[in-house]
Amino acid sequence: MKAGELRELSAQELIQREKELAMELFNLRFQMATGQLSNHAAIRKTKKDIARIKTVLNEKDNRKDNAGS
């Protein structure tokens, strides 16, 4: 998922997407631990997507804070 696509979503949608990705990451790690994971790159991609979402949420929060000043 690209950052531009994420910026179009609302904060609530981003938080929900972050929760979904966190659960997906948990499942991927569980699969890796049990030897069932076939695509190890999926873990890295999921981590990066979570980081992108957190970055966009932080940007939105900073814009809101600066608008009030």
Domain count of the chain? Answer: 1
Query: b or e along 15-43 (b: 16 or more beta carbons within 10 Å of the residue's beta carbon)?
Result: eebbeebeebbeebeebeeeeeeeeeebb
Domain that holds residue 44: 3-68
| Predicted pLDDT of residue 63 | 86
Query: What is the structure's pLDDT at 50?
Result: 97
CATH code of residue 45 = 1.10.287.310
The predicted model scores a pTM of: 0.89
CA–CA distance, 3 with 42 (Å, rounded to integer): 18
**How many CB atoms within 10 Å of residue 56?**
21
pLDDT of residue 69: 63
pLDDT at 66: 85
Residues of the chain short of pLDDT 70, as ranges, are: 69
What per-residue confidence (pLDDT) applies to 34? 96
